[in-house]
Amino acid sequence: MEKTLYIKDFSSVEVFIEFLYIHGIHRQARNLCKALGLQLHLTNLKEKYSSKVNLDERTKHQVRSSLKAMAGQEDSSQQSLLNIEDYYQLTAIAQGLQSGSKILEVGTYKGASTLALAIGSEKSSASITCMDLYMGFKNEQMTRVDSPLHNEYLVWQKNVNHYCNRINSIHGSSISGLQRLVSEGVKYDLIFLDSSHALDTFFELALISCLANPNSIIILDDVINYNWVMTTTWAMGLKHFLCFPRFSNKLSIANFKISALPINISYEPNCIFESAMQLDNIFKSFEEDNIKAYTKKHSNSEFTINFCTSI
């Protein structure tokens, strides 16, 4: 069996793979590198786009124990939705802020990420504006019947109470909350977006782009191999106002700037997910694990990738 994928607008397969990687399409980039024998290229990309921030052991301990102490916890894993390395990453990035900076967090849930950001910004005394609907998460929507007073909001308040002098809360939909901030003309230096992971995310990022200073940092959860909306939102950001993409576990990080990507290609953001789907379908159509691929160049910007089980 042989399958062919036609690629245009890229000068080489290495550039195409880098492009997939930048867009959080890591699984397909990995599969393609393996099939083409380009594992070293993948290692270099991981290194080039990894978010390198360090956190000292004392602060790591502070983050761990704050998460453990979150109110009402029976099982700490249900309180914190990211893994501990991601919370360290949030703390470390917040530690890089200048005194008097502003942080915006969209999607707090019970406050684990708020705590990580608050711990990181202790020195800079950054203010933190937090936004959430507090409608519960997954099965917790069931509690709405019993808790019309938004139990999650009370839990979040209790969890982050120690930092309350630096925290403002916007309790409600992100779209209206962000619109309000845009109309107030406020700018933020660090923005963490971890809310619906659905269509709202498009609009959230578009509004957030009006709330950032040049070089502000944005951190998004779940861009990497997540869903069409997250991929396309991130792609829209990279095309229009984000630069220096980097990755850490589940988090995708970038700076705001009107600047070009490290590689220069014209594309439509919603085509990227299509490339990912085509690659997935090709890899799925081969039952064997041992897929090989080779490329054939047609012009300076067009080539095909041929997939087969033996060459």
Ligand X SMILES: C[S@@+](CC[C@H](N)C(=O)[O-])C[C@H]1O[C@@H](n2cnc3c(N)ncnc32)[C@H](O)[C@@H]1O
Where do contacts with ligand X occur on this chain (CB under 6 A)? 80-82, 107-109, 112-113, 131-135, 137, 173-174, 194-196, 200
* Radius of gyration from C-alpha coordinates of the chain: 21
Tell the smallest beta-carbon distance from residue 108 to ligand X (Å). Answer: 6
Secondary structure of residue 235 in the 3-state scheme = helix
Q: How far apart are CA 90 and CA 121, in angstroms?
A: 10
For ligand X, which is the closer residue by CB, 30 or 197? 197
In the complex, least distance from residue 243 CB atom to ligand X, rounded to whole angstroms: 24
Q: Do 220 and 194 meet the contact criterion of CB atoms below 8 Å apart?
A: yes
Tracing tokens 């950032």 back to the chain, one arrives at 212
Q: How far is the CB of 253 from ligand X (least distance, A)?
A: 15
Q: How far is the CB of 196 from ligand X (least distance, A)?
A: 3
Nearest Cα residue to 222 out of 233, 211, 237, 208: 233
Least Å from the CB of residue 246 to ligand X = 19
Nearer to ligand X, 2 or 146 (CB): 146
Of residues 31 and 62, the one with the C-beta less far from ligand X: 62
Question: Measuring CA to CA, which residue among 131, 110, 119, 122 is closest to residue 192?
Answer: 131
Residue closer to ligand X by CB (options 231, 275) is 231
Distance (Å, rounded) from C-alpha 223 to C-alpha 214?
22
Distance CA 242, CA 77 (A): 32
d(CA 299, CA 11): 8
Residue 5 or 116 having the CB closest to ligand X: 116
Nearest to 305, CA basis, from 42, 107, 34? 34
Nearest residue (CB) to ligand X, 95 versus 108: 108
CA distance 207 to 178: 6
Least Å from the CB of residue 261 to ligand X: 27
User: Which residue lies nearer to ligand X by CB, 83 or 125?
Assistant: 83
Q: What is the largest CA-CA distance in the chain?
A: 65
Taking the C-alpha atoms of residue 269 and residue 266, their distance in angstroms, rounded to an integer, is: 10
Shortest separation between residue 107's beta carbon and ligand X, angstroms: 3
